[in-house]
Structure 1
Amino acid sequence: MQEIQSRQTLTPDGWVSDLCLTIDQGRITRISRTPSPGAHTVDLLLPAPVNLHSHAFQRAMAGLTEIRGPDPNDSFWTWRKLMYRFLDRLTPDHVQAIAELVFMEMLEAGYGAVAEFHYLHHDIGGIPYAELAEMAGRITTAATNTGIGLTLLPVHYMQGGCDGRALEGGQRRFGSDPELFARLHVDSARLIAEAPDDFAIGIAPHSLRAVPPGALAEARQICPRGPIHMHLAEQVAEVQEVEAHLGARPVEWLLDNADVTADWCLIHCTQMTDAETRALAGTGAVAGLCPITESSLGDGIFNGISYRDAGGRFGVGSDSNIHIALWEELATLDYSQRLRDRSRAAMATADCSTGRVLFDAAAQAGAQAAGRASGQIAEGRLADLIAVSTDNEFLCNRSGDTALDSLIFTGRGRSCVTDVWSAGRHMVQNGRHVARDRITNAFLAVTAQLGQAI
């Protein structure tokens, strides 16, 4: 059992001063105004959001794709070719070391859990491992070793495009036919059942390009319960390909052909019409936004204001993990709206500041997307918590929504995080993960083996 005494706390009822939280077996069991002399004292306490979209292995690529090759029209598609070449060098040991660094950095950034969109399943050339879920096991072990909460999303990936072409090169490590993927999912679910109690499993049909309509319809048979995530409408070329082969734009086709409800999370959706934006918002599904990666890859700008006004739910994830930064993801989302519309404080409302709107959305929708009982500081919820110091030159002893705005928009939010708990596991203390040195050294050994070039 742990106790945390907080000077100011963001609760479902707003900001409350001088609360004491009791944590037992990973959950908040009591919230009281009675001080406890032995409690761990913090300045400002927030619910720790879920990072709702991550490809952990791509973290080792960060900084290696910022040169232009012979093609003057460098784009997402040329970046993808480099990514495929890179992953063909990764072993299970590499992937575990990379994932541990990624999950450590997420915790230090303020995330309490991650929804890992896991599609690196097989050995080089697409040969299944003797233990079919070997790579899923490495992701689960990395999450356990670092203490982050995990929703594992095994990815179903069958074809190289809507025309049904075969997988090539690095894609073969992702691919499975329905029977093989069903077995892989069962084995992955067994790993999660043996992991910490707060870990969960869902399913991720990769995209409308990679999974034909029949297989998409079967996804719920493979995974009857839990979150279902899918990339959707990220690139103009993707929209054109889906429209050419399926007869409708991606969002339109999905909403017409699948029962999209609140357990769905659609990733990116940076290429939507106004009508598609309103329709998707009406389903209760979460839009999974990755503003830093979407900026890096030139994906486009999400219709954030329209989606918010239609009651849509949205959260954020670090996707390619080029820069794992909770506060910067939120700022980048708002800045994209400002640049498009030549405005300021784009996502603010008459009642709430920009930072409060962004943070509340990320905390609540992230928990929904991960199927995780977190997202709020309330009795019975998982103790996913961020403690923040305001006594510094970035927050200047501010309080309430102004402190949140300062965390997000001064660009120094991470340096103000003092502690992070995931399901009560106190993994970040004094701003550092408790196993930072071991994890960082293992990662550096992997990058030395992989070299500097792709």
Structure 2
Amino acid sequence: MTALFARHALLPDGWRRDVLLEWDGDGRFTAVAPDAGALAASRAAATSPIDTAEYVLPGMINLHSHSFQRALSGLTEIAGDDAGSTGDSFWTWRDLMYRFALGITPEQMEAIAAQLFAECLRHGYTSVCEFHYVHRAPDGALYPDVAETARRVIAAARHAGIGITMLPVLYSYAGFGEAPLRDEQRRFRSGPAEVLAIVAALEPLRGTMVEVGVAPHSLRAASVAQIRELLAALPPERPVHIHIAEQVAEVRQCVDHGGRRPVQYLYDNLAVDERWCLVHATHVADDEVAAIAASGAVAGLCPTTEANLGDGLFPLAPFLAAGGRFGIGSDSHVSTSPVEELRWLEYGQRLAGQRRNVAVATHTMRTTDERRVGDHLWRAALAGGAQAAGRRVGALAPGCCADLLVLDEAHPNVSAPPELLNGFIFSGNDNLVKDVLAGGQWVVRGGQHVAQAAIAARFKETLTNLRELRS
């Protein structure tokens, strides 16, 4: 049994003082007791001193990651030859990503993922949902172990110490109407049988820190019939993620193909419920916003990637007004900070609506706490991220994974509750996370990941090798 005494901790019912947190060898909280100063002192006197911290938060969940794309950061910010006419877009970026993905090895995927996960932990993510679609070898053949690349990413998560929900991707077509895959998409090719084989192969790895779900890539890359076949064979409690309505061109193609917009088409054909995460959903009509909220599905929002790719803005205000649930992800990893995702989620809404303080619980707002934007952003993203991950995470509560952040109490931008989360998210650009516990293990101390040097050295070597191949 290990323990931490927090002078201030964010519990499910709000900020509490003098909280004694205890966890076991399986990495789960066994007891969370507020107003426990005397208890902590007696425990320390009877056994050994208990670690103390001033400000403690639950670790954030990163609900959407393509880990190998971390190696692309900064390499695609060059205007193409046609930038003066139609300009660069998501689709030109995607072509560059395809070319990059063709040459990467499983060993390199693991090295890149470990670097990404260490960065995520240092900034406050303690869980990640990996939307994993590079299943095959560069020539398009299956590896002898169908789960080879998925295992590599899980191994990277274990090395870094982050919890992971692995989501093998169903990816069969290049576009609506079952258009055949292009040659540069050959490493992604998978049908329901291949995805289910990966899920089965990963079954022994499931535990406190690992869950396995599935991810139909999108309505353009997987047919409704395939998705039904996949879900019929999947255990009913497993998470299901899908890209949807990310781009205007995608919406137009869906209407041309099926006469309906993507979210409408999804809901008309499949039973979408709380285990679903709809990633991006950037271009949705009012009735689609209402449908997502009513179904209990999570909207998976990735503001820094959506900005980087020119996707657009999710209609957050009406979604929150309808009681919608959301979480955040770093997607292509142009940023690995939950603070930046949440800050730009709010700022994008301010720019679009020319108003302030948008992300509040407008459907229930009664107290001052519910009007604090930082509090609502962090707590709502915790709840939505935990739901999307399909793991008991996102709360300092008995039975949940022992994940927490200790903020740097000496930093001038860290103030006492109730203003702490507003300052954490909306004040400056320093990383205010000092220590991180994930699955009951201290993986960040003093702002440094415990394996940072070794992980970074391997990552740098991998980048050098990849760039030599591209030159």
TM-score range, shorter chain: over 0.9
CA displacement, residues 233-263 of structure 1 (integer Å, 9 cap, x when unaligned): 1000000111111221001111111111100
Structure 1 partner of 2:346: 334
8 Å contact kept, 1:54–1:321? yes
Is the aligned partner of 1:142 residue 2:156?
yes
Is the aligned partner of 1:47 residue 2:58?
yes
The CA deviation at 1:130 is 1.5
Structure 1 CA distance for aligned equivalents of residues 12 and 147 of structure 2: 39
Structure 2 CA distance for aligned equivalents of residues 280 and 45 of structure 1: 32
Q: How does 1:36-435 map to 2 (within 5 A)?
A: 36=41, 37=44, 38-72=49-83, 73-190=87-204, 192-193=205-206, 196-225=207-236, 226-349=238-361, 350=365, 351=367, 352=370, 353-395=372-414, 398-412=415-429, 414=431, 416-435=432-451
8 Å contact kept, 1:84–1:169? no
Is the aligned partner of 1:16 residue 2:37?
no
3-state DSSP of counterpart to 2:103 = coil
3-state DSSP of counterpart to 2:419 = helix
- Matched to 2:28, the amino acid is R
3-state DSSP of counterpart to 1:280 = helix
Is the aligned partner of 1:30 residue 2:40?
no
3-state DSSP of counterpart to 1:267 = strand
CA displacement, residues 333-375 of structure 1 (integer Å, 9 cap, x when unaligned): 0001000000111113553201001000111110110011111
TM, length-normalised to structure 2: 0.93
The CA deviation at 1:223 is 1.8
Structure 2 CA distance for aligned equivalents of residues 271 and 410 of structure 1: 30
The CA deviation at 1:284 is 0.5
CA displacement, residues 367-422 of structure 1 (integer Å, 9 cap, x when unaligned): 11001111111122211111112321222xx22241111111113352x1111111
Q: Would you say how many aligned residue pairs link Structure 1 and Structure 2?
A: 448
The CA deviation at 1:181 is 3.0
The list of structure 1 runs, each at least 4 consecutive aligned residues, that deviate by more than 6 angstroms after superposition, is none
Structure 1 CA distance for aligned equivalents of residues 171 and 319 of structure 2: 29
Over 3 Å counting, the alpha-carbon distance change for 1:182 and 1:22 in structure 2 is closer
8 Å contact kept, 1:233–1:239? yes
State the identity as a percent.
42
Note the residue ranges of structure 2 that are not aligned, 5 or more in a row.
none
- Matched to 2:154, the amino acid is T
The CA deviation at 1:97 is 0.2
Over 3 Å counting, the alpha-carbon distance change for 1:429 and 1:344 in structure 2 is same
Question: Which deviates the most, 16-25 or 90-99?
Answer: 16-25
8 Å contact kept, 1:406–1:413? no
3-state DSSP of counterpart to 2:125 = coil
3-state DSSP of counterpart to 1:333 = helix
Over 3 Å counting, the alpha-carbon distance change for 1:178 and 1:23 in structure 2 is closer
Structure 1 CA distance for aligned equivalents of residues 192 and 241 of structure 2: 17
- Matched to 1:375, the amino acid is G
8 Å contact kept, 1:384–1:420? yes
Note the residue ranges of structure 1 that are not aligned, 5 or more in a row.
none
Structure 2 CA distance for aligned equivalents of residues 239 and 165 of structure 1: 16
The CA deviation at 1:219 is 2.0
